[in-house]
Chains A and B, each alone.
Chain A
Amino acid sequence: MARTVSIRDLQRDTSGVVRRVTRTGRPAIVTNRGDPVVAVVPVDPDALEDFVLANSPPFVRAMREADAALEAGLVRPASEVFAELGQEREDKPAATERELRRVAALTAREREILALLAQGQTAQSIADGLSISPRRVRAHLARILDKLDVSLPATRSAGAGSR
């Protein structure tokens, strides 16, 4: 299992400590007595991960909290929570009223282009399919994005698709 090495040991003989730690085949967490971790020598990442799960204050606190919740009868069957979460997702409307209004503002041509874009087509292939120029497709696209108030990352991906 992982062990903790004081920063003082490390300062005294850095390479020696690291060598000793490495030879043990265990991960070492180098700390300065309560200060943030200074260095980690991960020999076995799995063991290090388990060490963090077992010793990190948030997780230790969670274990205590879970025990207390069990005592107080505040625990719930996982199946019940999963069923609830599934139901919540089903109840959530696919689009809000505002989003529907935005889509309604699109012209027939813009909707046609949007549907083709959603299929993953590029500006060039849409232009070929509709017998218009790619420049015209990009102009439509700019108007669509404007009407839908779509954020920049989506614009970037659409731009990438138009190349």
Chain B
Amino acid sequence: MCPCLQPGPPARAVGEGRLRGRIPSFPVTVALLAPPAERDLRKLRRLPDLGRLRVAIRALERGDEGLDVAALEGRRPWRRLREGDWRIIFRPLSPAEARRLGIANDEAILIARIVNRRDLERAIRTL
């Protein structure tokens, strides 16, 4: 039988199979975009990128298992989500911050930047 006719692996959810086990996923309800992150989104030219990021951020909001999330060493509580070529820098809001913003169950995340891998290569020069 031709290998191309063999049944492929089952469809995977965003980030599934790439969990490093470093940080358990957590349930949140609202993702908030800081102005730099909103600018990053508005700069996107390709519709598939926008769709992919939308799915990834929704998965974060739902607290899906298996997302490639890791803490940023030395910058706690900031974390990053890796989704394809994109890196989302975010942190969970403290219950007090969420309450102050009137978020129903005190659970939310704040997204600081949405960065492409190419920009990381450029950023290395700023170190």
Task: Tell whether A77 pairs with B127 under 8 Å between CB atoms, given A49-B87, A60-B75.
Answer: no
Closest B residue by C-beta to A80: B33
CB of A62 within 8 A of CB of B126, answer: no
Q: Are A59 and B50 in contact (CB under 8 A)?
A: no
In the complex, are the beta carbons of B34 and A69 less than 8 A apart?
A: yes
Contacts of B93 in A (CB 8 A): 70
Count of residues in A whose CB is under 8 Å from the partner chain: 37
Contact B74 A54 (CB under 8 A): yes
- B12 at interface (Cβ–Cβ under 8 A)? no
Q: Which residue of B lies closest to A63 (CB)?
A: B112
CB distance from B61 to the nearest CB of A (A): 8
Q: What CA separation (Å) do A75 and B72 show in the bound complex?
A: 22
Chain A residues 43-99 with CB under 8 Å of chain B are 49-60, 62-63, 65-67, 69-70, 73-79, 81-82, 85, 89
A63–B32 CB distance below 8 A: no
Q: Which of B36, B89, B110 contacts A53 (CB 8 A)?
A: B89
**Interface residues of B: mostly helix, strand, loop or mixed?**
mixed
Contact assessment for A76 and B113 in the assembled complex, using a CB-CB cutoff below 8 Å: no
Q: Determine whether the beta carbon of B31 is less than 8 Å from that of A77.
A: yes
* The residue from A49, A65, A78, A79 contacting B35, defined by CB atoms under 8 A apart: A65
Q: Which of A1, A58, A78, A85 contacts B126 (CB 8 A)?
A: A58
Complex CA–CA separation, A89 to B54 (angstroms): 15
Chain B residues with CB under 8 Å of A4's CB are: 127
Residue in A closest to B120 when the chains form the complex, CB atoms = A52
Out of B42, B74, B112, which one reaches A66, CB within 8 Å? B112
Closest to B37 in A: A66
Minimal beta-carbon separation of A55 from chain B (angstroms): 6
User: Is there contact, CB below 8 Å, between A85 and B42?
Assistant: yes
Q: Is A153 an interface residue (CB 8 A)?
A: no
Can you sample 26 A-B contacts with CB below 8 Å?
Answer: A1-B73, A4-B127, A29-B124, A31-B127, A50-B72, A52-B127, A53-B72, A53-B89, A54-B73, A55-B127, A56-B127, A58-B126, A59-B89, A59-B112, A59-B123, A65-B112, A66-B34, A66-B111, A74-B35, A75-B34, A75-B110, A76-B38, A81-B33, A81-B41, A82-B50, A82-B57
Chain B residues packing against A (C-beta within 8 Å): 30-38, 41-42, 47, 50, 54, 57, 61, 70, 72-75, 78, 80, 87, 89, 91, 93, 97, 101, 110-113, 115, 117, 120, 123-127
